[in-house]
Structure 1
Amino acid sequence: MTVSAPPRPSQALALAAMPGLFVLLWSTGFIGAKLGLPYVEPMTFLVLRFGIVTVLLTGFAALTRAPWPRDLKQAGHIALAGLLLQAAYLGGVFASIFHGVPAGISALIVGIQPLLVAAAAGPVLGERVSLRQWAGLALGLAGVVAVVWSKLDLGIGTPLGYALSVFALLGITIGTLYQKKFCPHIDLRSGTAIQFAASTVALAPFALLFESRQIIWSGEFIFALGWLCIVLSLGAISLLFILIRRGAAATVSSLFFLVPPCTALVAYFLFGETLSLPALVGMAATVAGVAIVNRAAKA
């Protein structure tokens, strides 16, 4: 019998750092949107990004011989989940930031997605939701309300912008439940390629009909586009794929509640976005609420 050698210290350190690196990369998606949107309208930006990522992921899936859906029905389920998880979620996030919502606050609003999924898991998926999870849900929602209220009082962002963040939250929440119910064993390579392709087709009419489609090809925009396409869409997905293979997916899930404060911290240094004391308290309450739900789910 062959006994596999234990990982070298450098390999063990790299594996231990991967979940945190994944969360950091995921957080920068909001920063990339903030950085690129002064030079292009949101749907045009996303159609360009989705189109590039579709080509890259399709090539990556082909090179790694990823399995594709066994029939059109399964492909349809994956595409519909993608419309919710990519088009609705990212479309809402990009449009909300375009309408003045700070990147850190948009991240916070959509960051309560685990809370809504936990609340809906009972009636939709037949999963038990504990009293502790309900308490976490209430605490997290109260925190988000406090943060948004403080920003509106200061005249930062618009009601439409915050509504678009809520739309993004609903998109990723419903999409997560739909994917878990109808395509739980999606291959991250081929499945994500299908999702980005469907989202490209879905958002293209909005860019054609409602936007000028003008792009200012500045250095900042090219950097933001490249970062979102290569580092986020390919790098983060590859990291997630490695973590799942290594059995660290639960660790990634438990760290997702760090995304909003991580985004807010980076936005502070890059864009000078600040949080008032009530907003900081609200963010802490939301982070605590999501942490409670995640820990209760694993208990």
Structure 2
Amino acid sequence: MVSTTKDNAWLRAMPWVFVLIWSTGFIVARYGMPHAPPMKFLAVRYALSILCFLPWIWFSGVKWPSSRKQWLHLSVTGVLMHAGYLGGVWAAIKAGMGSGLSALIVGIQPVLTAIWLSGTGAKVSRRQWMGLLLGFAGLVLVVSRKFGAGGPGDQANWINLSFAVMALLAITVGTLYQKRYVAACDVRSANAVQLLAAFLVTLPLALLEFEAMRWTHGDAGVNWELTGAMAWSVLGLTLGGSSLLYMLIQRGAAASVTSLMYLVPPCTALIAWMLFDEPITLVTVAGIALTAFGVSLVVRPARAA
């Protein structure tokens, strides 16, 4: 009886834990980018993640995708959802964008998805259209206040905005592509294939970067900020986040994660304020709240008739 109660409590907490882990992805980028170029960081992250997944797949007896077509579809989603999405976020933060703003921009993915679905003939309710407008208005409110006016590490400009929008488009298209073409398969082998594709695309870009990864501070010893960012990226985000999502899907709680994703931007903004002193003004709070409310209207399931 006690065990069952604990299991139920953990199941209810899992979506919230997943959202918290997802939010730290933007924080990790802020920690790591002062000490490494974005593509080199990500190439190393993908390589280490693959090396962690392979023994997990081997000892678990997990099956690999059975057809070339499935490998191809997984590779496309890997390029979009890992190389494109993470590459855009990391590059935006490297170019001076704050963690909170990057999370806010990418957080309107459900809004962009709803707009695309409306163009394909899918029904978008009046409530969802209102959510689209509110979400976009909140984003414009925050960006307009930070454009060219923020401090170091928390400023919007055309360069980092372009990278962030690229990340938004990549995760949106990747999600839609995966829903349309990727058949159900084990998340561990699927992740390994996606990461391999992302690594192969990212590696040539990493070799073009002149900046080196600063693993040490010279005579001062190990650079723990870069080392910690890499360790959490691999173990916490790629392995921990993926395995948690796998358990959520298996237990039928994936819908809860979707409905909570609009909490990622305010969660990220709060963590960034505590760790990096990224300012949270009344305008920022209002914009984030407006966007979160708008996105919640978009993702909220319709009431049964």
Q: TM-score, normalised by structure 2?
A: 0.92
Alignment of 1:1-299 (within 5 A): 8-124=4-120, 127-155=122-150, 156-217=155-216, 218-296=223-301
Q: 1:186 to 1:140 in 2, by over 3 A?
A: farther
RMSD: 1.7
Q: Using the alignment, how far apart are the partners of 1:223 and 1:101 within structure 2?
A: 21
Does the aligned pair in 1 maintain the 2:135–2:291 contact within 8 Å?
A: yes
Q: How far has the Cα of 1:145 moved from its partner?
A: 1.0
The superposition leaves residues 96-127 of structure 1 with CA deviations (integer Å, 9 ceiling, x where unpaired) of 00011000110000000011112212445x53
Q: How far has the Cα of 1:137 moved from its partner?
A: 1.1
Q: Using the alignment, how far apart are the partners of 2:116 and 2:186 within structure 1?
A: 24
Q: How far has the Cα of 1:73 moved from its partner?
A: 1.4
Q: Using the alignment, how far apart are the partners of 1:229 and 1:289 within structure 2?
A: 32
* AA in 2 matched with 1:65: G
Mean Cα displacement is larger for which, 159-168 or 179-188?
Answer: 179-188
Does the aligned pair in 1 maintain the 2:78–2:198 contact within 8 Å?
A: yes
Q: How far has the Cα of 1:169 moved from its partner?
A: 0.2
Task: Flag structure 2 segments of 5+ consecutive residues without an equivalent.
Answer: 217-222
* DSSP 3-state at the match of 2:22: helix
Q: 1:31 to 1:83 in 2, by over 3 A?
A: same
Taking only the aligned residue pairs, the percentage that are identical comes to 44
* AA in 2 matched with 1:51: A
Q: How far has the Cα of 1:246 moved from its partner?
A: 1.0
Does the aligned pair in 2 maintain the 1:95–1:161 contact within 8 Å?
A: yes
Q: Using the alignment, how far apart are the partners of 2:15 and 2:210 within structure 1?
A: 38
Q: Using the alignment, how far apart are the partners of 1:233 and 1:157 within structure 2?
A: 28
In the TM superposition, structure 1's runs of 4+ consecutive aligned residues that sit over 6 Å from their partners are none
Q: How far has the Cα of 1:61 moved from its partner?
A: 2.1
Q: Using the alignment, how far apart are the partners of 1:67 and 1:159 within structure 2?
A: 44
* AA in 2 matched with 1:261: P
Q: How far has the Cα of 1:297 moved from its partner?
A: 5.4
Q: How far has the Cα of 1:132 moved from its partner?
A: 1.5
* DSSP 3-state at the match of 1:8: helix
The superposition leaves residues 139-197 of structure 1 with CA deviations (integer Å, 9 ceiling, x where unpaired) of 11111111111101524232201111011000000111111111042431111111111
Does the aligned pair in 2 maintain the 1:133–1:296 contact within 8 Å?
A: no
Q: How far has the Cα of 1:65 moved from its partner?
A: 2.1
Q: Using the alignment, how far apart are the partners of 2:115 and 2:184 within structure 1?
A: 22
* DSSP 3-state at the match of 2:279: coil
Does the aligned pair in 2 maintain the 1:207–1:213 contact within 8 Å?
A: no
State the match for 2:220 in structure 1.
none
Does the aligned pair in 2 maintain the 1:23–1:252 contact within 8 Å?
A: yes
Does the aligned pair in 1 maintain the 2:36–2:211 contact within 8 Å?
A: no
Mean Cα displacement is larger for which, 54-63 or 77-86?
Answer: 54-63
